[in-house]
């Protein structure tokens, strides 16, 4: 059954806590109801805006739109075993509305590798391919097999349900075709993930490897699966660095880590030998938090918005502020980094103005 609410407040549906109102808030209990949702939007002459956990959006004001949310459904492990010949592998189908952190806990507690480094990333599963979420050297692309969803009608083509192979989704660093040429054309309804009990853990980050070594004794003491222990350590690390959106409004990492050419990286390293840098497909990736911190923004406050005092990559909203306030601070930071390092920062959260 499709549930509709007119003039719905969205303050509690975005982790930045900005005041916004939607013409309609519609909840679909199952994917088969999506045609009904889009027919309703058409009758209202309004666009549809899919909204998950609201952890990667910036509402600039009221939305003249039908905001769509999908009801979460439990995982059905009995239907997801690949075969009896592969008892340590699983192809797991995850509904779009399922909470990402719960998915990490469910899979790692069963001993499956694949998502443990992605613990405590906010939001719902359906949003994960859009950003190709990643943390601690792992991306969703490493486990994603396919994306299920619904194509909107376009240029004479009828609406239809479809399954897209992950390799066709253009997954890159915090990017995908869902953010580019497929934006506004495809509504994700489920993910298909390939997980394994035999994979090697990804422990490339020194702080993760060091803290895990300290806690390794827990593995034997409580018979805790290694993936669950890694997820626990990642959770502790993220909580030590990032504010809880439920206590201090934020959208997580506000800027992407910039990728620059190897030549530019070499030039910067001559001037700043301590600059954190990592190999990237098209050059060298820099730590945006370090760049922002060097410009003196950590802990900065501008009225009701600011930069977190422990993590310069996180912009926060203390209440009563607006998207305009936050974007002005973001532009100030971007300009300062560009002026000092000649590096262009790019915003992660989507700016929503429908």
Positions marked catalytic: 174, 253, 348
Q: Which of 90, 165, 87, 177 is nearest to 132 (CA)?
A: 177
CA distance 297 to 254: 13
CA distance 193 to 142: 9
CA distance 37 to 27: 9
Q: Which of 295, 305, 299 is nearest to 340 (CA)?
A: 295
Query: Hey, what's the torsion of the CAs at 194, 195, 200, 205, to 10 degrees?
Result: 90
Structure tokens at 340: 């000092």
Number of Cβ within 10 Å of residue 170's Cβ equals 15
CB 265 within 8 A of CB 284: yes
Number of Cα atoms under 13 Å in the Cβ half of residue 351 = 10
DSSP-assigned beta bridge partners for residue 196: 89, 113
Structure tokens at 302: 């501008």
262-272 burial string, b = 16+ CB within 10 Å, else e?
eeebeebeeeb
CA distance 96 to 34: 13
Alpha helices in the chain (DSSP H): 34-43, 100-109, 128-131, 206-215, 217-221, 226-241, 262-271, 288-294, 323-341
């Amino acid at each position: 059954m499709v549930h509709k609410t007119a003039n719905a407040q969205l303050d509690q549906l975005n982790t930045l806590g900005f005041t916004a109102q939607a013409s309609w808030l519609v909840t679909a209990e199952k994917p088969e109801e999506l045609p009904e949702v889009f027919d309703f939007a058409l009758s209202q002459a309004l666009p549809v805006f899919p909204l998950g956990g609201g952890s990667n959006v910036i509402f600039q004001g009221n939305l003249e739109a039908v905001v769509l949310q999908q009801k979460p459904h439990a995982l059905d492990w009995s239907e997801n075993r690949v075969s009896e010949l592969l008892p340590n592998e699983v192809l797991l189908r995850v509904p779009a509305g399922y909470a990402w952190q719960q998915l990490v806990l469910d899979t790692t507690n069963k001993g499956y590798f694949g998502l443990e480094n992605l613990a405590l990333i906010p939001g719902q599963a359906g949003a994960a391919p859009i950003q190709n979420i990643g943390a601690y050297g792992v991306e969703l692309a490493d486990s994603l097999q396919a994306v299920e969803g619904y194509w909107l009608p376009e240029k004479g083509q009828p609406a239809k349900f479809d399954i897209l192979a992950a390799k066709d989704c253009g997954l890159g660093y915090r990017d995908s075709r869902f953010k580019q040429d497929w934006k506004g054309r495809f509504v994700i309804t489920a993910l298909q993930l390939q997980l394994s009990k035999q994979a090697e853990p990804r422990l490339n980050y020194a702080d993760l490897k060091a803290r895990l070594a300290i806690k390794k004794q827990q593995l034997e003491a409580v018979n805790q699966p290694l993936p669950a222990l890694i997820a626990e350590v990642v959770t502790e690390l993220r909580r030590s660095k990032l504010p809880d959106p439920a206590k201090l409004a934020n959208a997580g990492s506000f800027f992407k880590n910039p990728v620059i050419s190897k030549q530019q990286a070499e030039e910067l390293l001559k001037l700043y030998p301590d600059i954190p840098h990592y190999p990237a497909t098209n050059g060298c990736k820099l730590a945006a938090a370090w760049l922002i911190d060097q410009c003196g923004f950590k802990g900065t406050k501008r009225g009701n918005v600011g930069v977190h005092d422990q993590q310069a990559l996180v912009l926060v909203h203390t209440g009563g502020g607006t998207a305009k306030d936050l974007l002005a601070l973001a532009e100030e930071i971007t300009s300062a980094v560009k002026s000092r390092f000649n590096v262009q920062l790019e915003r992660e959260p989507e700016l929503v103005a429908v």
